[in-house]
Amino acid sequence: MNIEPIGIIHSCFKEKFGIPRQPGLVDAAEATLQLLPPYNRAEAVRGLEGFSHVWLIFGFHATAEQGWRPTVRPPRLGGNARVGVFASRSTFRPNPLGLSVVRLTGIDCSGGVVLKLAGVDLLDQTPIFDIKPYLPYADALPNAEGGFAPENPESAVIVSFSATAERQLASLATERPRLRQLICELLAYDPRPAYRGDNDASRDYGVKLHDLDVRWRMSGDRAEVTALVPSGA
């Protein structure tokens, strides 16, 4: 079977670091999905507007060349214990395919077809292989058991902004109305790797969101956003 992308993601996430570990955790994480020819025709998405969420099957294109491992260390287990690749949502799989359910906020068929999405866990330029509507009657399983990840991950980091960062947020408010929420929700989950050494605590961290390098500093369970630096500056 040969599969080709039917679309491409334009996401706020410009690098792997900082991307939420699953969809839906950070609703302010927005993306557009641009369908590619010959699939970019309105009739191919007719009826999709009635669904609040869609499943996306996509390629882990940024890590695909690194191959797969039979066991992985999920962040959920502190990065120490190993589970099988097929018991995990690891990106390093025999076929590097990802599966995410994301919120569909709009469809624009004015020039090609563009789906507007929220709550994504997708890197910019991710190739999309298929789109399917989320069917609550079949896909929502209230009695399902979640193995070693039974609950939402902890989001315990308290986020604040320096005066400089506040000023920068204010000047970007019209262009990026959900930027503050995006940064707060992302940092609350503490994107640092689970197996970091303790001496990393006082380091500066940065994550690329949209066209900004968002800088922050950790102190205990507090994150202070120090600056939003335009990328390439």
Q: How many CB atoms lie within 10 A of CB 46?
A: 10
Report the nearest approach of ligand SAH to the CB of residue 88 (Å).
Answer: 9
Report the nearest approach of ligand SAH to the CB of residue 210 (Å).
Answer: 16
**CA atoms of 27 and 101, how far apart (whole Å):** 12
CB nearer ligand SAH, residue 7 or residue 98: 98
CB nearer ligand SAH, residue 65 or residue 145: 65
**DSSP label at 13?**
B
CB nearer ligand SAH, residue 69 or residue 89: 89
Task: Give contact residues for ligand SAH (rule: CB under 6 A).
Answer: 16, 19, 21-23, 60-63, 89, 91, 98-100, 121-123, 126
Report the nearest approach of ligand SAH to the CB of residue 166 (Å).
Answer: 28
Report the nearest approach of ligand SAH to the CB of residue 58 (Å).
Answer: 7
CB nearer ligand SAH, residue 122 or residue 223: 122
Report the nearest approach of ligand SAH to the CB of residue 18 (Å).
Answer: 8
CB nearer ligand SAH, residue 12 or residue 165: 12
Between CA 184 and CA 192, with CA 187 as vertex, the angle to 5 degrees is 175
23 contacts 121 by C-beta, under 8 angstroms: yes
Q: Which residues contact 203 (CB under 8 A, 6 or more apart)?
A: 217, 218
**CA atoms of 135 and 232, how far apart (whole Å):** 42
- Angle formed by the axes of helices 179-188 and 163-172, nearest 10°: 130
